[in-house]
Amino acid sequence: MEYNNIVIQVKEGIATLTFNRPEILNALNEEMLKEFSNALDEIYANQDIRVLILTGAGEKSFIAGADIKQFLTFSPLKAKSFSEMGRLLMNKLQELPIPVIAAVNGYALGGGCEVAMACDFIYASENAMFGLPEITLGIIPGFGGTQRLPRLVGESMAKELIFTGQMISAQEAKNMGLANKVCSQEQLMDDVIQTAKAITSKGKVSVRAAKQAISNGMNVDLATGCSIEIDAFALCFTSPDAKEGALAFMEKRRPDFKGSLKE
The string of DSSP letters for 114-180 reads HHHHTSSEEEEETT-EEE-GGGGGT----SSHHHHHHHHH-HHHHHHHHHH---EEHHHHHHTTS-S
Non-local (6+) Cβ contacts of 208 within 8 A are 97, 98
Q: What are phi and psi of 231, to 5 degrees?
A: -65, -40
Task: Say whether 244 is catalytic.
Answer: no
Provide the residue count of the chain: 263
Q: What are phi and psi of 161, to 5 degrees?
A: -65, -40
Task: Say whether 59 is catalytic.
Answer: no
Choosing from 134, 155, 160, 263, which is the catalytic residue?
134
Pairing of strands 14-19, 6-11: antiparallel
CA 224 to chain centre: 25
- Asked if 152 and 177 count as a contact pair (C-beta separation under 8 A), the reply is yes
Choosing from 35, 42, 114, 186, which is the catalytic residue?
114
Burial of 15 (0-12, 13-18, 19+ CB in 10 A): buried
**Which residues does the annotation mark as catalytic?**
114, 134
